[in-house]
Every structure is written in structure tokens, then in C-alpha cells.
Amino acid sequence: MKKLYRKYNFKIVFLLTFVAFFIGFKLQDSDYFFKINKSIEIFGNVYKEIAFNYVDEVDPETLMKAGIEGMLKTLDPYTNFITSSEASDVELITSGKYGGIGITISLRDSMIIITSLMEGYSAQRQGLRIGDQIIEIDGRSLIGAKPESVRNLTRGEPGTEVRLKIKREGEPKPLEFVLIREEIKLKNITYSGYLKNGIAIIKLERFTRNAGEELRIAIKELKLKGDLKGLILDLRDNPGGLLESAVDVVSKFVPKNSPIVSTKGRKIQNEIKYNSLEEPILENIPLAVLVNNNSASASEIVAGAIQDLDRGIIVGTKTFGKGLVQNVFQLPYQSQLKITTAKYYTPSGRCIQEIEYTHQGEAATLTPDSLKKIFYTKNGRPVKELGGIEPDTVVKTRDLNPLFTELLRKAMFFKFATNYTLKYKEPPEDFSINGTLCSEFRKFLDSNKFDYESDAEKKLEELTSLTDNYPNKEDIAVDLNNLKVKLQGAKQTIFISNHKEIARMLRQEIMSRYKGELGRIEASYTDDDIVTTAFNIISNESVYKKLLGLKNLN
């Protein structure tokens, strides 16, 4: 009887404990939902009172959007409210498709200028050119227009008509074009080709749904063209895209069933592990992945997986550091809410998120290096969490000096290339500083009265202003003026010392006129320090092995 009593007593205690826990959980849960309902009721009443009783009439939709955006500002910058008019941008990111005419535009000297043309689409087929200024769209003047509003005018339903009035250098009168919008498919891979000695390079610019398939086709074509001995995957300036596409890309290089990335969030359904589900098409050949500070999100998933699995080397500069996963939730009236639901983790277990966002609207914080946890790659190489992907080989980019910055700001390379193609039917053979091209560029700058202020000249101006109250300021002024003259003369040598960067930019702009975007990208790889470093590493088996901690390369 005592055993039976103890048995039932234990069951009763267990049952009471379970009931107490369940009730406590429910009470806590109920309290949370009460807070939600209470807040919704207060928010709704505040909104209604302002809409009806504020001293001036307000736009209810604008007021609501401002309230939502104010609420979301207390979270991270990737959690966004998307109106019905902005929904097409989400579709563009995921599918890479939109209705348009195939142009890229930019604001140059307060004018809307065509900066690139997509091969095979309406704008390119009907004769629009890089450098053309768009002055009207469907009779609407673009004076003072912003690029965002112009893009909305050129985009629309495929099959619809759009009329453009163009001002072109060398033409006395504006030109009129009638274009038909088409479904534009943005390519994930914008360049694929061999450098030399069997080493190829592929530029992957985004991660829409078809990224993995495009990569598979590009690799297959490279194999058909030559003996593929090594590959450089260029992810520089790639802002990311779909997580699943990043997994698909990595799967082309790593053994089947390899871990690629995992996500962990507040809810159990956000904890997912992604493994490679296919046999790789390039499992063994040397691989280098190029990254920079603008490589983010899906780019970092690829770089992190390749690094953690010791499948290849990462070359360049540290990546952006976005380790957050977003999901899009549908809302009424075709609006959407993009919410950060999880963080992602590389195969070694590290999260590479750079900034820690609080939920109280306080300032975002960075974790000091001393507090970052160390993880290890497949071969035992140490890698740190947080702060992006640190390359295996860092190649620092050269800081832009005032001369180069001003040349870019005033679009002198762009304008010169446009002017050059009006004169010559073929691109130049010599882009060196001593060649005819650079000589023409110098004359072009003089004819456009181009000038800039060097760092030394800025400091000299500061020094001049500080000597105004000196008793012998006249004598000092003479010395300072002599120094100013010397600095002006020295600026001529600065042009020569920057000849490599100037020649590269001229080559890119001019080749884009003759060979389109492919020509621009191909030209950009000439004298590219990061590409050269990656090429040299994967061409040298012993160096490549050492960086990966490998003993044998199969």
C-alpha cells in the first residue's frame, strides 16, 4: 500500500507541477498578447484622433506610413514596410525581372544621362547610346528630375510604348525615339572568360533565383572553350539576394551533403540547416573568391562557406558584415512587411553580423575584436565571428586622392569617352600614360578648364587664414604665395603618379562604348591588383596549399 501511495503521490506531484508550469506559461503568454492588443488599440486611437482633429488636414496614408516607419526605426534597418507601389522592387531582387527598355541612368551635372545599355533590348537595338541625355519622356520634361522618378517613367508593363527625347553630343537637334517596353531579365553573371594559362574569372553580381543555374552554365561553357585549371569568382560589390541562391552557388564547388549555412531565430521554425544537395561540378580545381566591403549578405554566405570548408581562398578586403535573414510577409492592399527573422551562421558556427541592433531604439553597437569568439575551418585555420568575412589574403585598395576624386565627381572620364567615340570608329591600342590617348585626355581636361584642389593646397589655405593677424603678415603672404605657385607646378607630376588608375578608368569607359558592359568589365580586370593576387596564388600550388592548410591537393 505504501508503494502504491508513493506511486500515486508522485503522479499527483508531477501533474500539479506540469499544470503550474502550463498555467504560468499561459499567463505569461496572455500577458504578452494583452500588451499587443492594448498597444494596437492605443495606436489606432491616436491615429484616428490626429486624422480627424489635427489643426491642418493630413494625408491619412502618409500619416500611417510615417507611424509604421517610426516604429520600425527601433529595430534594424533591414526590417521595412513596402507599399504596393514599391512591391515591384522586391520582385526585381528575387526574380531579376522587370518591364523596361534596358538602360541604366545616372545624374551628371544635373542631367539624366544614360550610363549603360543592356545588350539585346529595345534601347540598344534602336540606337540609344551611352552618354545620351534624356530630356523628355512621353512629353514630360526631366529638368530637375531625380533618377528614381525617371526609372519609374521608363519601367512599366511589357508591350507598352514609351517616347524619349534625347540630346546627343554632335547632333544639332534633339532626337526622338519610340521604344517598346520588354521583360528585362537581369543577369546574375555579367562576365565569364579566361584570363590566361587556364585560369578563368566569373563575375557574379547578384543572387536572384537563377544564380546557381547561370553559374553552372558559365562553368560548362568555360570547360568547352578550354582546359579549366583554376577559377576566380568575383563577388566584389555584390550586395546579395536570396539565401537559397547562395546555397545553390556554393553547391557547385563543395562535396554533396556539405554544410553551407544555418539560420537561427526567435522561433523554432526559423532554425534551418542548409546542405549541398548535388554533386559538385568543380570539386577539386583551385578556387579564389574576390570580396570587398560592398560584398554583403548572400555574398558573405558564399565566401564564409568556401572559407570554412577550406574549398578555396578569399582575396580582397573585409566584407560588409550582414548576417541577418529577412522574410517577406503579405499585408492587406498589396503591401508587404520585410522582417528580420533570423541570423545566419557559417559551417564553422560563426555569425558574421557586424552591427548589433538593440530593440529599444538605442544606438547600434560594434563588438570589439578582443570579445570576438574564435572558430576553426575544416583544416583547423582560426576565423573570427562578427564583423564580416576577413580574407585569407588581404589586398588593400588604394585611397582615392583629390585628383582622381574630382575627375570622377565631374565625370571627366565619362565625358571624354563619349567625345572619343564620336571621333574614332575603333578603340585605341595604347592606354599608357605616354600614349596618344592620355595626351588627348590632358588636352580635353584643359579645354574643359578642369582643376582641383590638392590636400596641400587646402592646408595652405588654412595656414593663410591663420596668419591674418600676424604683424609681418605681408612678408608671410609672399612666402605663402610662392609656395602656392610651387604646389600648382607639382600638381602636374601628380597626374603622372596616378597614371595607372587613370589609364584603367579610361580603358573601362572607352571599351564600354565599343563593347558594352562586357567590354567595361573585361577592361576592369587589366591591372587589377586583387585579380592579379588571386591569379598568382591559385597558379602556385604550394602557396595555395599553404594558405588553406592543405597537405595534399587531389
DSSP state of 361: S
DSSP states of 63-132: HHHHHHHHHHTTS-TT-EEE-GGGHHHHHHHHH-EEEE-SEEEEEETTEEEEEEE-TTSHHHHTT--TTP
DSSP H stretches of helix in 525-549: 529-539, 541-548
pLDDT of residue 139: 94
Burial tier of 363 (Cβ tally within 10 Å: 0-12, 13-18, 19+): exposed
pLDDT of residue 498: 78
H or E element: which one contains 445?
A: helix 436-447
Please identify which residue in the block is written with the cell numbers 573568391: 289
Half-sphere exposure of 28 (CA within 13 A, CB side): 6
pLDDT of residue 499: 79
**pTM, entire model:** 0.85
In the set 245, 276, 297, 299, the catalytic residue is 297
pLDDT of residue 3: 45
Q: How is the chain split into domains, by residue range? A: 1-42, 97-185, 189-329+341-397, 402-452+498-535
Give Cα separations from 305 to 131, 447, 496 (angstroms): 41, 52, 42
Please identify which residue in the block is written with the cell numbers 569607359: 509
Residue 523 has which C-alpha cell? 577592361
520 contact partners, CB below 8 Å, separation of at least 6: 116, 508, 509, 511, 512
In the set 234, 248, 308, 528, the catalytic residue is 308
For residue 522, give the amino acid letter: E
pLDDT of residue 400: 75
What is the rounded CA–CA span in Å between residue 452 and residue 461?
14
In the set 187, 203, 318, 322, the catalytic residue is 322
What is the rounded CA–CA span in Å between residue 378 and residue 393?
18
CATH of region 189-329+341-397: 3.90.226.10
Q: What is the dihedral of CA 120, 122, 128, 133, to 10 degrees?
A: -130
Q: Could you confirm whether domain 97-185 is CATH 2.30.42.10?
A: yes
Residue 334 has which C-alpha cell? 498589396
Is 308 considered catalytic here?
yes
pLDDT of residue 296: 96
H or E element: which one contains 444?
A: helix 436-447
Is 297 considered catalytic here?
yes
Q: What is the pLDDT along the chain (554 residues), one digit of tens a residue?
A: 444 444 444 444 444 444 444 444 444 567 888 888 999 999 999 999 999 999 999 999 999 999 999 999 889 999 999 888 777 777 777 777 889 999 999 998 889 999 999 988 999 999 999 999 999 999 999 998 998 889 889 998 999 999 999 999 889 999 999 999 999 998 999 999 999 999 999 999 999 999 999 999 999 999 999 999 999 999 999 999 999 999 999 999 999 999 999 999 988 887 899 999 999 999 899 999 999 999 999 999 999 999 999 999 999 999 999 999 999 899 998 899 999 999 999 999 999 998 888 654 455 677 777 788 999 999 999 999 988 999 999 998 877 788 888 898 889 999 999 999 989 999 988 887 667 888 899 899 989 998 887 777 777 777 777 777 777 777 777 777 777 777 777 777 777 777 788 888 999 999 999 999 999 999 999 989 999 999 999 999 999 999 999 865 44
pLDDT of residue 362: 53
CA 513, 516, 520: angle at the middle one, nearest 5?
85
